[in-house]
Chains A and B, each alone.
Chain A
């Protein structure tokens, strides 16, 4: 282990390194340390093991047991309510127990007939939206160009002397596949 750069500094950076989110300058600090430190290489291997727990979760939520079915007609219903001035259930949740909430769905409909209530809600909504606008829009990711994940994993494999993990084949995927799927998922709609 280099004296200048300790494990204590290295370990918290490994996740970002595997995510391809470490700036080139910081990656340049970490890489030589990984070359020298088997313990930190193990930590990097752990990071990849962890990713294998999440890939099946994504897949299962997309097409498996954990997929959540969207009720039919949901989008039409929501659009209709939005254009009728319905602003959501909000305050209802506080007062109602779960079993009573079914009947409570009528309340917004009644409320929206009241012009005064609508005007008050508009004012409230304006206040809320001003208060809750994202504050971090100006953050820059310029220095996070980072290495492509595939390159990082190849490099780690090399450092580790490449022993393919005994992990589930289903959960195993290349960084390339992962990034392609990421792009695919980015296309909205189902």
Chain B
């Protein structure tokens, strides 16, 4: 993803040189996207603000370690997601990780949805408003184990490439692919379970 890296890099360097306004511009540039990203982990506006603020404060202290050839935005995403998960943990809301989810621990042969014939996923009903579809999608996302929600958010919401997702999550591209596959299967399953009405009348 192209992120005007030259500008970012200039602002990073100026921030490191002690220019507070440059760091403020860097924050300004990404604050909107960070608020939107963190919203996938909590709906509480005060918590969102705290997490995003902490993300930027952490980013500032880690600025000297920022690798100039990488994207500032994906670097920031990584910090934001870790901060959001850390926050949940501290509040005792333990996000479900893959290892704790028996269905995820299956061998590749046992992956749910690996048979092409297993049900169809409906497209959103033409009569639904955009915000209505968005609410449904968000509701389904929130029901997914964190590991699946995160990879779907990075791909479908942030529109990151597999390489960028791999960088953000510190995993291989192959793992991104298989995790996305399982996440999509789970999304589809939850969507139909939560909203069977959209399954009806859907024909291929």
- Interface residues of A, Cβ cutoff 8 Å to B: 7-8, 10-13, 15-16, 19, 21, 37, 39-40, 42-43, 45-54, 56-62, 64-71, 74-83, 86-90, 93-94, 98, 101-102, 122, 125, 128-130, 132-137, 139, 141, 144, 165-171, 182-183, 185-190
Say yes or no: A70 contacts B32, CB within 8 Å: yes
Q: Are B109 and A8 in contact (CB under 8 A)?
A: yes
Contacts of B1 in A (CB 8 A): 182, 186
A19 to B170, CA, bound (A): 20
- Within the assembled complex, what's the spacing in Å between the Cα atoms of A65 and B139? 14
Interchain CB contact under 8 A, B126 and A136 = no
Q: In the complex the two chains form, is B134's CB within 8 Å of A87's CB? A: no
A45: chain B residues within 8 A (beta carbon): 120, 204
Complex contact B124–A81 (CB within 8 A): no
Residue B156 lies at the interface, judged by CB distance under 8 Å to chain A: yes
Q: Tell me if A66 and B135 are in contact (CB < 8 A).
A: yes
Number of interface residues of B (CB under 8 A): 103
Q: Are B133 and A168 in contact (CB under 8 A)?
A: yes
Q: Closest CB-CB distance, B153 to chain A, in whole Å?
A: 9
Is B39 an interface position by the 8 A CB rule?
Answer: yes
Residues in chain A near residue B115, CB distance under 8 A = 7-8, 11
Contact status A66-B82, CB under 8 Å: no
The 4 closest A-B pairs by CB, nearest first: A60-B134, A167-B123, A79-B24, A88-B54
CB-contact partner of B20 in A46, A83, A183, under 8 A: A83
- Nearest A residue to B173 via CB reads A139
Which residues of chain B are within 8 angstroms of A68 by Cβ–Cβ distance?
Answer: 32, 35-36, 39, 45, 48
- Whole-angstrom distance from the CB of B185 to the nearest CB of chain A? 9
Do the beta carbons of B24 and A136 come within 8 Å of each other?
Answer: no
A56-B133, A88-B58, A183-B2 known, 7 other contacts, Cβ within 8 Å: A53-B137, A54-B137, A79-B20, A122-B61, A168-B123, A168-B127, A188-B8
- A179 and chain B: residue at smallest CB distance: B159
The answer to whether residues A182 and B36 also contact, given A49-B121, A87-B57 and a CB cut-off of 8 A, is no
Judging by beta carbons under 8 Å apart, are A171 and B56 in contact? no
Set of chain B residues within 8 Å of A8, measured between Cβ atoms = 109, 114-115
A11 to chain B: which residues have CB within 8 Å? 113-116, 181
- Does B41 have its Cβ within 8 Å of any Cβ on chain A? no
* B48-106, CB < 8 A from A: 48-50, 52-54, 56-58, 60-62, 64-65, 67, 69-70, 73, 75, 78, 82-83, 86-87, 90-91
- A136:B136 contact, CB within 8 angstroms: no
With A50-B184, A129-B61, A132-B82 known as contacts, the answer to whether A93 contacts B134 (CB < 8 A) is: no
Cα distance, A61 to B111, chains bound together (Å): 32
Judge whether B184 and A136 touch: CB under 8 Å: no
Q: Would you call A7 and B171 a contact (CB within 8 A)?
A: no
A13 to B130, CA, bound (A): 29
Please indicate the chain B residues that have their CB under 8 angstroms from the CB of A189 in the complex: 28-29, 32
The answer to whether A88 and B4 have CB atoms under 8 Å apart is no
B123 touches A188 (CB 8 A): no
A70 to B48, CA, bound (A): 10
The distance in angstroms between the C-alpha atoms of A188 and B166, with both chains bound, is: 21
Contact A168 B20 (CB under 8 A): no
Is B143's CB within 8 Å of the partner chain A? no
- Complex CA–CA separation, A42 to B45 (angstroms): 40
Residue of B nearest to A76 (CB): B24
B33 at the interface (CB under 8 A from A): yes
